[in-house]
Structure 1
Amino acid sequence: MEFSNRGQKLFLILTAIFVANAILAELIGVKIFSLEDTLGVQPFNWNLYGQTGSLSFTAGTLLWPVVFVMTDVINEYFGRRGVRMISWLAVFLILYAFAFAFAAIALAPASWWVKVGEAQGVPDMQAAFAQIFGQGLWTIGGSVTAFLVGQIVDVGIFHAIRKRTGEKHIWLRATGSTLVSQIFDSLIVLYIAFVIGPQHWSLGLWLAVATVNYVYKVCAAVALTPVIYAMRRGLDAWLGAELSAQLKAKAAAA
């Protein structure tokens, strides 16, 4: 398939990376991992909102920094409409993925397959498959709601800063939008999935896990700021000065 210009190719590539990472983050987000145990160090024994022990994160946080970078780059070249389009596309495909995950769970398993993982410590492959991919509706609803709210807030803050700074201070609009949007994202997803959901987390546990996830996302966003600058320089060179300027002007005006 041929595309009329490099702008269309760029949008297609960024959309594919964005959507793939968003879906993967949702699928692996069911796992909560310990930072200290993963690194092989002694627990920090932190005390936050009455919770102590190891720092706990959802595995999905590992991929969200990539989503942040893609969001900021798409914002830069394609504006609100571009981010809005890929956000709704990602939500649709996330729901599509979970629908087929539930359909796969409902399929009758082959009798030999159920026990195939016994040697690896998995006595029932069907139960394991259902537990991993069959995330509850509360978790799915929380993830999708948080994702949409976070994207709406992110794009709003990004363009509010852009109107005041123009083409300068990319770091400010990229980091500033993440700082604000991820407050909502980190709190909403855990509240819907685990507080009002079937696990009924205490408010202290909710705030503690949300806080450490938020801090990680902010640190990752700051650390990845040079990547955004590098991507912008590379994309400007690839698009050419004229097309790059046209895309940015349309994005800023949208």
Structure 2
Amino acid sequence: MKGNDGDLLRTVDAGQIAGARLRYFDFAMAAFVTILLLSNVLGAGKVAVIDLPGIGDWPFGAGILFFPLGYVLGDVLTEVYGYARARRCVWVGFAAMLFMALMSWVVVALPPAATWDGQAAYESVFGQVPRIVFASIAAFWAGELANSFVLARMKVWTRGKYLWTRTIGSTVVGQGVDSLIFYPLAFLGVWPTSQVVTVLFTQYALKVGWEVLLTPVTYRVVGWLKHREGLDVYDETTDFTPFSTKV
């Protein structure tokens, strides 16, 4: 039958392609994990500023420019390949973040050579506070799985129509779960409660807004991948347990 993008697609339940090798899934998973790690390494530690007309300088975490791309790719993975494969990508990303945190801790803790003067800069960039690392990993895991679950269920409810409702609706839920876990776990008791609440809702609104702006890109990527795979996958009979990596 024809998919919503007009291409000839074979509509299948996710269970019908369980364990099957799909042409571009590995590349999509690699892109997902790469963006996740780089946005946490390069973006999380820097506070940038933008000059807003009528407001002045407005500080923001630089990671917000790229971290939401992980949710866009999470949407793409679920829409094209189904919940189970998106869930596997979340678990791979979870493991990669744990290893990154461990590697950062070990490398920073190693005694520097007497001739090397970069230890202070290295600690500033990679010496993350364990509480923030834990909060980030927990929030990512829960938020991404919530995002994928909502999108997969909405795809069945809407019979594959109105992709924009699924990408935005799932992000509203996923980013909400992410923000409600991360900011209290990371900063409650460290920052004033009012500041935690302000930053939580500000960052949440920015992330959801970023997803809305990227909706045309999501449509293009989803359409391209579905056309190449020749499939339109629905999670009619999927086991939605988060504690599995089975595809």
- TM-score (norm. length: structure 2): 0.81
Partner of 2:78: 75
Task: Name which of 29, 32, 41 aligns with 1:18.
Answer: 32
| Deviation readout 1:74-103 (Å, 9 max, x if unpaired) | 101222211211111111111101111111
| Residues 56, 212 of structure 1: 8 Å contact kept | no
Cα distance in 1 for residues equivalent to 2:81 and 2:21? 9
Pairing of 1:220-231 with structure 2 (within 5 A)? 220-231=210-221
Cα RMSD (Å): 2.1
Partner of 1:117: none
Q: State the percentage of identical aligned residues.
A: 28
**SS of equivalent to 2:82:** helix
**Structure of greater relative contact order (alpha carbons < 8 Å, 6+ residues apart):** 2
Task: Name which of 78, 91, 98 aligns with 1:88.
Answer: 91
Partner of 2:63: 60
Cα distance in 2 for residues equivalent to 1:7 and 1:234? 18
The letter of the residue matching 2:44 is: G
| Residues 178, 218 of structure 1: 8 Å contact kept | yes
Partner of 2:168: 175
Runs of 4+ aligned residues of structure 1 deviating over 4 Å after TM superposition are none
Structure 1 residue 34: Cα displacement = 2.4
The letter of the residue matching 2:228 is: W
Contiguous gaps of at least 5 residues in structure 1 = 1-5, 46-53, 115-124
The 1:215–1:234 alpha-carbon spacing in structure 2 relative to 1, beyond 3 Å, is same
More moved, 230-239 vs 137-146: 230-239
Task: Name which of 35, 40, 48 aligns with 1:33.
Answer: 48
Structure 1 residue 159: Cα displacement = 2.2
The 1:209–1:96 alpha-carbon spacing in structure 2 relative to 1, beyond 3 Å, is same
| Deviation readout 1:52-73 (Å, 9 max, x if unpaired) | xx43322221112211121011
| Residues 158, 174 of structure 1: 8 Å contact kept | yes
- TM-score (norm. length: structure 1): 0.79
Partner of 1:216: 206
| Residues 57, 212 of structure 1: 8 Å contact kept | no
Indicate whether 1:151 and 2:162 are aligned.
no
Matched positions, count = 219
Pairing of 1:88-127 with structure 2 (within 5 A)? 88-114=91-117, 125-127=118-120
Partner of 1:51: none
Structure 1 residue 179: Cα displacement = 1.0
| Residues 57, 209 of structure 1: 8 Å contact kept | no
The letter of the residue matching 2:145 is: I
Cα distance in 2 for residues equivalent to 1:143 and 1:179? 18
Cα distance in 2 for residues equivalent to 1:98 and 1:17? 19
Cα distance in 2 for residues equivalent to 1:187 and 1:68? 16
Pairing of 1:231-242 with structure 2 (within 5 A)? 231-240=221-230
**SS of equivalent to 2:24:** helix
Structure 1 residue 110: Cα displacement = 2.3
Cα distance in 2 for residues equivalent to 1:252 and 1:217? 29
| Residues 94, 137 of structure 2: 8 Å contact kept | yes
The letter of the residue matching 1:213 is: Q
Task: Name which of 188, 194, 204 aligns with 1:204.
Answer: 194
